[in-house]
């Protein structure tokens, strides 16, 4: 008569929903999905190059921010990356051992470890940023009013408001 008794056909919530979600101005599927795919390809560039060194994305991020602000202390790095020192530990050690970074005791506070890239680290970081910048440049050239400011403001607007000061501070060095 009805289906097998071990499946509860009478529970409406266990029935398949056959239709796609209805269009809704509060559901921006295209941009949500484009953002996902765009970011995936944005980091895929770097992944390939990092693999040659046995590095992952964590190494990339550390390398990037230390290069961007040479002399950064460990605590600042943890704050930017929002990870724990336990998970930073091995990554930092590998980057030092491979000769991409060096740690120098703070001149005033000798408990601090100031992080600097070596020339080797600088070179790799620049190379990675260059790849990513080229992709961004290409994407901007493809839009009708090639308005870099709008893209910048859009991305900034995506950031959690409380975080924006931190990001602003990081970028204060470029005019």
Q: Which of positions 81-140 make contact with a copy of itself (CB under 8 A)?
A: 82, 99, 102, 104, 116-122, 125-126, 129-130, 132-140
Q: Which of 30, 48, 54, 107 binds a copy of itself (CB under 8 A)?
A: 30
Could you say which DSSP state residue 20 is in?
P
Backbone angles phi, psi at 142, to 5 degrees: -85, -5
Residue 75 binds to DNA (criterion: CB under 7 A): yes
Based on the shown chain and the rule CB under 8 A, indicate whether residue 28 belongs to the binding site for a copy of itself: yes
Our finding on whether 150 is near DNA (CB under 7 A) is: no
Strands of 101-105's sheet in order across: 72-73, 113-117, 101-105
Of residues 47, 49, 53, 69, which one binds a copy of itself by CB under 8 A? 69
Specify burial of residue 167 (Cβ count, 10 A radius: 0-12, 13-18, 19+): middle
Q: Which is nearer to DNA, 57 or 148 (CB)?
A: 57
Work out which of 10, 13, 97, 110 binds a copy of itself, going by CB under 8 A.
Answer: 13
For the record, the structure tokens of 39 come out as: 């970011």
């Amino acid at each position: 008569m009805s289906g097998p008794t071990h499946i509860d056909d009478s529970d409406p919530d266990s029935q398949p929903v056959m239709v796609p979600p209805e269009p809704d101005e509060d559901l921006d599927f295209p941009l949500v999905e484009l953002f996902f795919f765009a970011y995936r390809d944005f980091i895929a560039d770097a992944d390939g190059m990092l693999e040659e060194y046995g590095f992952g994305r964590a190494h990339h991020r550390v390398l990037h921010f230390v290069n961007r602000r040479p002399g950064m202390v460990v605590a600042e790095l943890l704050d930017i990356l929002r990870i724990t020192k336990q998970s930073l530990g091995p990554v930092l050690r590998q980057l030092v051992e491979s000769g991409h970074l060096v740690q120098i005791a703070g001149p005033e506070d000798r408990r601090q470890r100031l992080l600097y890239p070596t020339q080797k680290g600088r070179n790799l970081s620049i190379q990675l940023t260059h790849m990513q910048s080229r992709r961004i440049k290409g994407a901007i050239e493809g839009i009708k009013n090639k308005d870099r400011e709008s893209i910048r403001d859009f991305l900034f607007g995506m950031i959690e408001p409380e975080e924006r000061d931190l990001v602003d501070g990081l970028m204060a060095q470029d005019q």
